[in-house]
Amino acid sequence: MDFAATKALFHLPEGMIYLDGNSLGPLPKATAARVAKTVTDEWGEMLITGWNKAGWMAQPTALGDRIGRLIGAEAGHVTLGDTLSIKVYQALASAIDLNPDRKVILSDTGNFPSDLYMAAGLVGSLGRGLELRTVAPEDVMASLSKGIAVLMLTQVDYRTGRMHDMAALTKAAHDLGIVTVWDLAHSAGALPVDLAGCNADFAVGCTYKYLNGGPGAPAFIYVAPRHVATTRPALSGWLGHAAPFAFDLDYRAGTGIERMRVGTPPVLQMAALDAAMDIWDSVDMDALRARSIALSEAFIAGVESACPELRLASPRDANMRGSQVSFHHPEGYAIMQALIAAGVIGDFRAPDIMRFGFTPLFIDEGDVGRAVDILAEIMRDRTWDQPQFKQRAAVT
């Protein structure tokens, strides 16, 4: 792939090295015009007729199929809309229904807290004696048993980038009659995923990180073909109805993946995502993964050589981590703020982790080298040790 050509497709502020695409992807240059067209030519001129004339209602599944190619999903089995937390709730509730005689949802302590919050809330509201059980990430395989209803995991740990073996864990779970729910928030657009090949049951993910859909971009949900015709959508929203405009008083689930739709499609956000997907449609995920590993390895080597006081938090084996690298330091927050002030954008996760995302569509070797040099200078001169860098902002 020509990654210099893809870099030219993104707006990146002059002088900035953006290593936070794992948290919010940068703006594709085509997005502003695409959204403006939707606003002026579609909403402005078509008004409500845009739902039919501009195809707004069909976009969730059409965009879902384009995302599906990146995550190894069968055509027609991904749709999008709502937030990731809503999609976690949907997938988990449907998975629980497939194992009604079992009471345990197994996850790990490295899972994204929001997923655990949604699971705990669902357990509390159902009142069926369900239990959310968490174990250390490395103990998940050994903790599987026939008493578990659902295994709910995020494939790539949001803090360290540690990656679960989806194929092995899904097979082990299925051998024990356990249904799987995979969160691909840090996988989709970061590395090759093969949901169909792994025989996954459900998967969810967001589109504002690696997929560059913009802040607030809609989430997606996948349901395997063997489940999609009978899955009960816990959130029986209007647009998941078999005939939304029949205005029946009783709910009838839609056909296939359409039943997992809930609320009104976010038309303007879908327009932004559509522009980003024009880039992703031509991306070779294997080439992207190889490039991501090369950039990450160069960064680790550079940081460990120049900044020995930083301790690697991510797995050293590149095959065991996603497309990010994290380092521990007691003053990690202040160091990251000093980096940001110097034009190197990463982020911080409590208690002491600095995260750096490696997104080959717009990051190259020169960016990595300059980032290492700036970090080394900050550490050498203790630039971070200033009051303004230690004041916690609302978003870290």
- So which residues are the catalytic ones? 112, 183, 208-209, 355
Which residue has 């190197």 as its token pair?
344
Widest Cα–Cα separation across the chain: 68
Spell out the alpha helix ranges (H) of the chain.
Answer: 3-7, 31-37, 45-46, 50-53, 59-71, 84-98, 113-126, 140-143, 166-175, 195-198, 225-228, 267-280, 285-306, 332-341, 365-381, 387-390
How far is it, in rounded angstroms, from Cα 341 to Cα 321?
28
Q: At what angle do helices 113-126 and 84-98 cross, to 10 degrees?
A: 50
Q: Is 108 left (phi over 0), alpha (psi -120 to 50) or beta?
A: beta
How far is it, in rounded angstroms, from Cα 155 to Cα 196?
15
Give residue 281's identity as a one-letter amino acid code.
D
Nearest to 81 by CA among 203, 211, 218, 202: 218
Give residue 163's identity as a one-letter amino acid code.
M
Which residue has 């937030």 as its token pair?
83
233 preceded by a cis bond (ω within 30 of 0): no
Sheet with strand 220-223: strands edge to edge: 78-80, 220-223, 202-205, 179-183, 148-154, 104-108, 131-135
How far is it, in rounded angstroms, from Cα 13 to Cα 10?
10
String of DSSP letters for 258-316: GGG--S---HHHHHHHHHHHHHHTT--HHHHHHHHHHHHHHHHHHHHHH-TTSEE-S-S
